[in-house]
Amino acid sequence: MAKCAFFGHRQFNYAPYREKIETLICDLIENHGVTEFYNGSRGDFDGVCAEIVFTLKVRFPDIKNIMVVSYHPHDGFALPKCFDESIYLLEKSVPPKYAISYTNQAIVERVDYIISGVTYDWGGAWTACEYARRKKKIILNVIEGK
User: Under 8 Å CB-to-CB from 7, ≥6 apart: which residues?
Assistant: 40, 45, 104, 114, 115, 116, 117, 118, 125, 128, 129, 132
> Is-above-0.85 flag for pTM?
yes
C-alpha 87, offset from chain centre: 13
**β-pair type (113-117, 85-88):** unpaired
The per-residue pLDDT for 21 is 98
CATH top-level class of 2-141: alpha beta
Q: What is the pLDDT of residues 101-138, one digit of tens each?
A: 999 999 999 999 999 999 988 999 999 999 999 999 99
DSSP 27: H
Q: What is the pLDDT of residues 13-44, one digit of tens each?
A: 999 999 999 999 999 999 999 999 999 999 99
What are the residue boundaries of the structural domains of the chain, listed by start? 2-141
> 145: pLDDT confidence band, cut at 50, 70 and 90?
low
Burial of 88 (0-12, 13-18, 19+ CB in 10 A): middle
